[in-house]
Every structure is written in structure tokens, then in C-alpha cells.
Homo-oligomer: A and B are copies of this chain.
Amino acid sequence: MESLTPQSTNFSEWYNQVITLSDLADKSPTKGCIIIKPYGYAIWEKIQSILDQKLKHIGYQNAYFPMFIPQSYLSKESEHIQGFAKECAVVTHTKLKTDNGGIILDPNSKLEEPYIIRPTSETIIWHTYKRWIHSYRDLPLKINQWCNVCRWEMRTRPFLRTSEFLWQEGHSAYEDYTSAKNDTINILKLYRDFGKEYLSIPFIQGRKTLMEKFAGAEQTYTLEALMKDGKALQCFTSHLLSQNFSRAFDVKFLDKNNELQYAYGISYGISTRIIGALIMLHGDDHGLILPPKIAPIQVVIIPIYSNIQELNMIKDYIMPYLDILHSLNISYHIDDREYFHPGYKYHHWEIKGVPVQIRIGKKDIKNNTVEIFRRDTMSKTTISNDNLPQTIIDTLSIIQDNIYANALHFTQENTFHVDDYDAFKDKILHNKGFISYPYNPEEEEKIKTETSATVRCQVIDDNGEILDTKRALFSQSY
């Protein structure tokens, strides 16, 4: 089995290798796109199912809008088109035909107006909201969509930046500015808490500068996380659109005083990029480390045997405990492949980041024990079978917390506070990490050019207010 390049040797190479070796994704024949393999997709399904419940709980309803957006719609909000014009997949024809034995575009099938594959759906959704919103009784309107989107990128990296990616996009409309702003912050906090509880990711919550905000938003709020190479990754954004899209698409409603008003909007979303954060924040030189709450397989059982009778004995021995785990909603997998030796299997499931391995040999049956292997600490313990289900539950919970504690410790250790520009440049080039540095909008472009670092955000409190308006967090980023 191939071994991984250490993170410290070449983080980027480590990242690409771990994705391949852990079976998260594969390359595709489409430029800038990946194939999300079953193991990677199962993580996305877990994230989807948890978030979908949370969003429904706060009143969101799922719907589906066409992926083809008429080109003219994209231009209706002037900042929006500027932001997306350079990365559009444009559909211009609808037929192919045979020509000299080859297949070519049928010129007669050219569309009068091209369609853009949605880079995001504000335009088509606000166009529709004009028909759905007439009175304050129609508000708030909270619609969510799970779908694919396309931003044709020049430099792509698996999960982090791909031409097509999967995401969830929430779009809501309100009667007044305050409700819209409050929900922009509330939804940010919902995702922050989800990140902490399920993904073991300590997010920094903040507001983007005007230079870094979403094209078409009044303000963009963000959750940023620090990866193990010291670069920041934007993991979630929520946008206070205010009346920008309601004005562009003429969405007015009769308010309680019977006066016509433009509705206020927000939008937000999380994408398959978050899988990149899980890899780069938690992973180590042995492979992935998956938080138990979103691991597709939480426990893998590796029987150590030399013939089929021994294998069956081991299975008989462990099965009653696995039934208990199953009834407790713990997912497990028995790796009984005959053509691999145990050492290969240990390594295989380490790379895949399965939180717990249960290793069982003949001796264990005699002693009424099993060996428990923890992926996060790479440590082994032999325990008595009597305690098995409870030990597994406790261990998974400890791992979940430990992964978070490690990530938090790492983020704190790599957050620096400097006031001097030379010190800032030195930190950003050598230590990387988050750097808190005085913020001056007029210097933002210069700093980006000189250091390639960008303002990730100005850190906010739970009310959405900037904690220190004079400072911002800078970082190299993905």
C-alpha cells in the first residue's frame, strides 16, 4: 500500500494523496470537477441530513429551481454580474449532429438567449419571489435548496474549489431590515454551533470587508477555520442582501400599514468544500481523522484469523455486542476480506479516519477481551468484553471532544496579534496562521499585493457587532 507524503514535507501533496488513498474522491474527465466517491459522499449525506433537520426546524422549506438561468437575469443586479461573469458555464446550443462521421454542434439549435448554469440562485429565486410575495402575510418566506452549482474556476483543488460543487442555498425574505439582519446572524450561529458539535471545527465568526463580500450583498458574514498548514478556509457565508435583489427584481409587498415596500433578503450556504476543512484541519500523517458524529463508519472490526473456522468463531464472539451497538445507532463494519492481512487492514482504516478499530484474535476469545484502537491518538487498549458497548460509546464521545480540543488549541496557538507592518509581513510569510492587525480599508489592496494575505473577517460578537472595529483578522487562504 502506498504511504503518504508527510504534511510537513508537502501539505498540498499530502492533501491530494489522502483524498485518493482514503477513497473520498477521484479525478474526473471534466476539467476542474471531481467524482465524489461513496465514502466521501456518505460524509456529505450525514452533513445534509443533520443540517436539513435543523433548517426545517427553524421554518425553512426545500424547493427546487431550474439550474439554467437566462443570461439577462444575471445582469439585473450590477455587482452580482461583475462577480460571476468570469466563471460561467454558458449553454448556447441544444442539439448535436453528425458531420463527416463526427459529431458537431448543430448551428440551427443556437439559443436566442444563452443560459448560465447557476453559480448561485439569487436571481432566479428573486424573480420568482415577485410572484410569491404580495403581502406581509407572505413573509417571512424561507426557502432552501440542495443542489449543484457551477463556477468555472481556473485553479481548482478537490473539494476546496471545483467547477461544479454541491451545496445548500437558503434564501429568505422579510418585512423589515432588522429581521433580515438578525436572521443573517442567527443562521451564522446555527452553523457555528453545528461546526463545533458535529464537525469538531472551532469557527471564527466575523464580517467580511466590503472588498471581500458577496457580489450583490450589503454585508457578508463568515465562518473561517484555520487549516493545519496555517492557511484559512472560508467554510460558510451568510449574506445580508437588504433590498438589493428585491429592487433588481421588483419584489414589493403591502405592509401592515397598507403601504408598498421592497422586501429585505438574506442568503447563505454551505458546500462540499466543508469536507476539505475536515481533511485539512483534523488529518495527520497517517491519513484522515473523522469526527465520530459525521464518520460514515464509526467502528471497524478487524478479525485476526488464519482460517475460516477462526473467522466464524470471532464473528460469533463479537456479534452480540455489535447488535447492541447497532441498536444504539453506532455504525460499524466488519472487514473480513480474506485476501488482506490484518496489518494492511489497520493501515487501510487508519487512512480512512475511522474513529475506532476493534481488533480481535483467538487470544481475545480466551481472555474475554478485545483490543480497542483510537484513530485520533493512535493508541491501543485491551478491554474486557463486558464493558464493550459502553466503552465504545464513551470512546466515540471522548474522540469527538478531543478532536475539537486539538483543533481549538491549534487555532489559538496560531493566532497572533501584531501592530507593526514588518512583524505582520514576517508572521504571514513564516508562521502563517490568523493575524490580528490594524484594519484600514485603504491599505487592504496593498497588503494583498505585497503579502498575498487577505482580510478573512472582522471578528463579531453574538449580536453581529464587530468586537474591535480598528482591527481585522488576516491570513493566507484557500
A interface list, Cβ under 8 A from B: 26, 28-30, 33-38, 41-42, 44-45, 61-75, 81, 85-98, 103, 105, 114-117, 124, 127-128, 131-132, 137, 143, 147-148, 150, 152, 163-164, 166, 339
Contacts and interface: CB of A to CB of B under 8 A. Distances in A.
B92 A137 contact: no
Given A30-B66, A67-B148, 5 more contacts: A26-B131, A30-B115, A33-B66, A87-B95, A91-B92
Contact of A94 (B61, B90, B128): B90
Which DSSP category, helix, strand, loop or mixed, fits chain A's interface? mixed
A31 to B, nearest CB: 8
Contact of A90 (B87, B92, B132): B92
B105 A92 contact: yes
Nearest to A162: B66
A68 B165 CA distance: 12
A128 B38 CA distance: 13
Contacts of A164: 66-68
B68 A96 contact: no
A367 to B, nearest CB: 34
A103 B89 contact: no
A95 B87 CA distance: 6
A96 to B, nearest CB: 4
A96 B90 contact: yes
Given A42-B62, A96-B71, A128 B33 contact: no
Given A28-B65, A75-B103, A148-B67, A92 B92 contact: yes
A63 B88 contact: no
A91 B66 contact: no
18 contacts: A26-B131, A28-B65, A28-B66, A29-B70, A30-B69, A33-B66, A35-B128, A41-B61, A42-B62, A44-B64, A72-B103, A86-B96, A88-B95, A89-B94, A89-B115, A92-B105, A117-B117, A148-B148
Contacts of A63: 35-38, 41
B69 A41 contact: no
A332 B98 CA distance: 55
Contacts of A147: 148
A397 B96 CA distance: 50
Contact of A339 (B65, B115, B137, B143): B137
A53 to B, nearest CB: 12
A163 B68 contact: yes
